[in-house]
Amino acid sequence: MLDAQGQPSNKKFNYTRNMNKSLMSLQGILKGLISDKKLNELELAFLNTWLISHRSLPHEGDVLDLLDNIEDIVSDGIVSDVELLDLQDQINDVVDYGNIKPQCVEDLTNELLGFISGISADNVISQDEFKALVVWLNENPSSAECWPGNILLKKIVDILADDVVELEELADLTQTCKMIAGQQFLETGAADGLSTEFCAQPLDSLPSSIKTISFTGKFLMGSRASLEEQARLLGIKPIKKEIPQYLDLLVIGGLASPDWRFSSHGRKIEKALINQQKGFPTLIITEENWSNLSSFNEGQPLRAALVSDEEIIKSKDNRQQVCFTGFSASKKKELIKHANNNNFSVVAKVTLGLDLLVYGDNAGPKKIEVAEQQGVSCINEEQFYKLI
C-alpha cells in the first residue's frame, strides 16, 4: 500500500526484494573491492561502514565472518598489510564459493550498483578496476538494457574509442560511478545512498515548451496534490499515472524509501530515462530545482509568465549553440576547444535553441532525426572545421 506521496506505507513493503537487493549489492561491492587484486584502508573502512549500516542482512555465514574479521582488524587502531591481505583472501573466498547467480535484470542492476560502489570507494578507479568493469559488463550484457548499465556502457565506449584510457577519463568515470550509486563515503562517511539526483538536469528557467509534468517520490515542500496545484497555476498539466512519451518534465522528490527502485517512483524515473534515450524531450529535475523555478514572491509566482526557450538562450548570450555527438572523448574535447575558441556555445544535447549538430561515426540516428525535425543544421566534422 502506498501513502499520499506514492511511497510504501508499510515498513515491511518489499522486504524480501530489499533483502535480495542488499545481498546482490554486497556481492557487487566485494567483487569491485578486489577487482584490482589489492585492498586498501579506505576500502576496508567503506566495507565496514556498509555492513554496519545494513543490519537487516542475516548476520550468519559469510556476513558474520566478514564483520568478525573486520572488527578484529580495526580493534587496535592499526591496519597492517598482512591483515588487509588476509581480508582480501577472505573476500576472494566469499566471491568464489558464495556467489549468488542473478535471476533477472534487477539482480544484475543491484550487483552493478554494488560493483561501481566498490571500485570507486577510495575515490580512484584504477586501470585494473576499469578493465574489471569492462569485463563485468561484457559478461552481463543484459545489464545494459536499462539504467545505469546503458549509461556506463556508453561512457566506456566513448573512453575506448581512441584505444587510450586517460587519467582524466578515469577520474570522470569515478565521479560518474559515485553519482550513479549515490556513493559519498569520503565526503560524508556514509557508504550508501540514493542515486536519483544523478538523473536530473538542472534548469535555470522554466521553458514555455513545458506543458505536462509529473511528480514522483516524497516531497519536502508538501503533498504531491499541493505541488500539482502549483503546476496548474503555472499553466502546466499534471500527469498522475504512467509516464507517457510526450511528458515534458518529471520532478523527483527529495525523500524516498529504500524501496524506491521497486516502487512507482523508480519506475517513473526509469521510464523518463528511456524516453530520453529514444530522443523524446522529457526533462528530469529535482524538487529543489522545481522549488526555485516555481517560487513565490509576495503572493505572485515569479515565473508565472513563462519565458520561451529562445529568450532563455538569448538572455545568456547571443552565440550560436553547437552540440557534438558520436565522437570519442578525446575528439570531443578537441572539437569543444575549437568551438569555444570560435565563439560558439557548446551544449550537451539537442535543445530548441540549438543551431548546429555536429555528428561523428558513432552518432545515434534518433538524435539526428530529432535535430532535423527542429530545423537544426546537421553537419559532419569536416564541414564544421570548414565553417569555422
End position of a domain, from candidates 307, 324, 339: 307
CB of 151 closer than 8 Å to CB of 187: no
What is the pLDDT tens value at each position of the chain, 388 positions in all?
455 545 445 545 456 666 778 889 999 999 999 999 999 999 999 898 888 877 667 655 778 888 889 989 988 888 999 999 999 999 999 998 888 888 888 889 889 999 999 999 999 999 999 999 999 999 999 988 877 888 899 889 988 988 888 888 999 899 888 877 765 554 444 455 545 556 677 887 888 889 999 998 877 667 788 889 888 988 899 998 788 989 999 998 865 444 445 455 567 887 887 888 778 889 988 887 887 777 532 333 333 334 444 443 444 456 888 988 888 878 888 898 898 888 888 877 777 678 899 999 877 777 788 788 778 899 999 999 988 7
* Total of domains in the chain: 3
| Residue 362 φ then ψ, to 5° | -100, 20
Q: What CATH number did the domain enclosing 327 receive?
A: 3.40.50.10190
In a domain, 7, yes or no: no
In a domain, 110, yes or no: yes
Determine how many CB atoms are found less than 10 A away from the CB of residue 5.
21
Grid coordinates of 288: 529543489
End position of a domain, from candidates 193, 213, 230: 193
Residue 250's DSSP bridge partners are 214, 284
Residues 20 and 146 in one domain: yes
In a domain, 4, yes or no: no
The pTM for the full model equals 0.57
In a domain, 81, yes or no: yes
What per-residue confidence (pLDDT) applies to 14? 53
Residues 104 and 175 in one domain: yes
In a domain, 2, yes or no: no
Residue 60's DSSP bridge partners are none
Please give the residue range of the domain that contains residue 367: 310-387
Residues 88 and 188 in one domain: yes
| Residue 223 φ then ψ, to 5° | -70, 160
Residues 32 and 179 in one domain: yes
Residues 78 and 147 in one domain: yes
Q: How far apart are CA 289 and CA 115, in angstroms?
A: 30
Residues 160 and 108 in one domain: yes
In a domain, 360, yes or no: yes
Q: What SS3 class is residue 154?
A: helix
In a domain, 281, yes or no: yes
In a domain, 10, yes or no: no
Residues 240 and 352 in one domain: no
Residues 99 and 179 in one domain: yes
Residues 340 and 272 in one domain: no
End position of a domain, from candidates 261, 290, 307: 307
